[in-house]
Structure 1
């Protein structure tokens, strides 16, 4: 029976990967393994810790079926930016042909209805978690690039479609989901770093400039041996009086849900944090596109008391 199942699995793989893009992307979700059924949705609410699917949105807003230029297995890890009147979303697109992640882009006028544009960044190694941000009127992108043993920094030469590699922030190590933010005139960055992929070690680095000498914080690793709260799960929020980091809960399974922590002290010598009371920011719904897991969030304040966020879910 095991041998028969193996033959069936290999036959399925060959069939799926031999189909043209238009046909492969129309395969039912049941044709994918449960750990590969990631898609992207939009949530909103009065705070970044209390978000739900709005009534005027049909989630998911982006799936592998919208990807028109490559054969996609799934989409995940969305980050958004609003530039003038247009929202831009960047996300991982897993290329079914190369078995690697690439970075795709979609656009929207209201952050609710999205149009897929194209793949904007691909390398000969896996890319995901496209942490996009603006600094001094320039646009930067830090994707996860663990197969290159580095944290790579890209700059838009023609936003949003063309990105140029400008240097390594960190090298010679495993860095998962690097999450950068600006605070107290310095750059700070979290990354999960367990070389055995146990997803239980969170390290913190800081620097004066984006490509200057990045130093590891003396209290790092911030988290050691706890896969519930170590791996970053989206954009770090720097609000007036609060810094919030989101983290994937990877127990009992990878990408189960998202928690939130408030950083109560952050200097080059000290670090303190506390878990937000309503810590479970994202949880699986039990049915549909996000039935079995959610592991990413990027919230944005759009009005005084309204937040909107792109999230992902596993069906």
Structure 2
């Protein structure tokens, strides 16, 4: 009888522990929207989401004069010729997600620029950047089983595959980082194991690094572009403790004694914004760049549907991942 009691107590403790890390019951989602704002340099770490503007899928449908967009997410932007080009994942009805572009002359009012990139597989996370050779994009192309590099001679349109950076893999949200004259790609697999690759140039060859501490589970998946602030380089990581897209935490990344080091600097820099309907379930993406004498920041968030869902598989899976048992 005592053994049974002890067993029951242990089970209860495990359930409480698991639920505290990743609740069994969470709210559902009504989809994602994109937000943006300018902030002064000294306000970057005191961000107020309620001061920003929001673009929802309904606005995209108004631009398009149709109702095909279900949600928009993963905003990345680039400033070119005094305009801001905002690239977004656009999940449309009865099809894979694609990449659209919005264009602004002042960073306040955006016009719909149209379709930027579409494939016969799901594509998202449109990480766009420029170097001396032109405009590139490294989106998430997991369903192609490769990490692909895109290039265009007609920015912001006509993106073509330039090269395959990493073959025969199903990686999520590959994120480019520059450290001490080398390029690094941070990414995760479906089990949320963090992998870091390095190369001397964008087109590779890319080599898997071994000089970093293993990271997996919660806050292992990337949440946007790296950025520099004062004397540190920051990387955003996704927090999923209260469900997918709970928030974004900031980590500093450095290369010391030939070891890549990550240190959490700001827990839940982005988090559920209860007072904002479009972001009241959570947030999971960030792009920060210094422009126009301050910082232009774009992010995304999801809307709560107020229906509570029981998801025991998710709770058990992510706890086991964190414990190294999955």
- TM-score norm. by structure 1 comes to 0.80
Query: More helix by proportion, 1 or 2?
Result: 2
2:247 corresponds in structure 1 to 257
Alpha-carbon distance between aligned partners in 2 of 1:61 and 1:142, rounded to the nearest angstrom: 23
1:284 maps onto 2:272 in alignment: yes
- 1:241-273 Cα offsets, whole Å, 9 max, x none, are 321110010123111000000113357x41212
Structure 2: give runs of 5+ residues left out of the alignment: 1-26, 304-326
**Which of the residues 180, 188, 197 maps onto 1:205?**
197
1:303 to 1:116, Cα distance in 2 relative to 1, 3 A: closer
2:282 corresponds in structure 1 to 293
1:215 corresponds in structure 2 to 207
Decide which moves more: 66-75 or 83-92. Answer: 66-75
Cα RMSD (Å): 2.1
Deviation (angstroms), 1:221? 6.3
Deviation (angstroms), 1:132? 0.4
**Which of the residues 53, 70, 73 maps onto 2:49?**
53
Deviation (angstroms), 1:183? 2.4
Asked if structure 2 preserves the Cα contact closer than 8 Å seen for 1:204 and 1:221, the reply is no
Deviation (angstroms), 1:70? 7.4
**Which of the residues 138, 146, 150 maps onto 1:150?**
146
1:312 maps onto 2:300 in alignment: yes
Q: Quick one: higher RCO (CA 8 Å, sep 6+), 1 or 2? A: 2
Deviation (angstroms), 1:102? 0.3
- TM-score norm. by structure 2 comes to 0.77
Alpha-carbon distance between aligned partners in 2 of 1:86 and 1:240, rounded to the nearest angstrom: 25
- 1:63-98 Cα offsets, whole Å, 9 max, x none, are 344141771111000001110210000010012121
Bigger radius of gyration among the two? 2
2:103 corresponds in structure 1 to 107
Three-state SS of the structure 1 residue aligned to 2:138 is: strand
1:110 to 1:34, Cα distance in 2 relative to 1, 3 A: farther
1:230 corresponds in structure 2 to 220
Stretches of 4+ aligned residues off by more than 6 angstroms = none
Structure 1: give runs of 5+ residues left out of the alignment: 1-32
* Aligned positions, number: 271
- 1:165-193 Cα offsets, whole Å, 9 max, x none, are 11111111121001012222211110012
Deviation (angstroms), 1:220? 4.8
- 1:213-247 Cα offsets, whole Å, 9 max, x none, are 101111356412x31x1010010114563211100
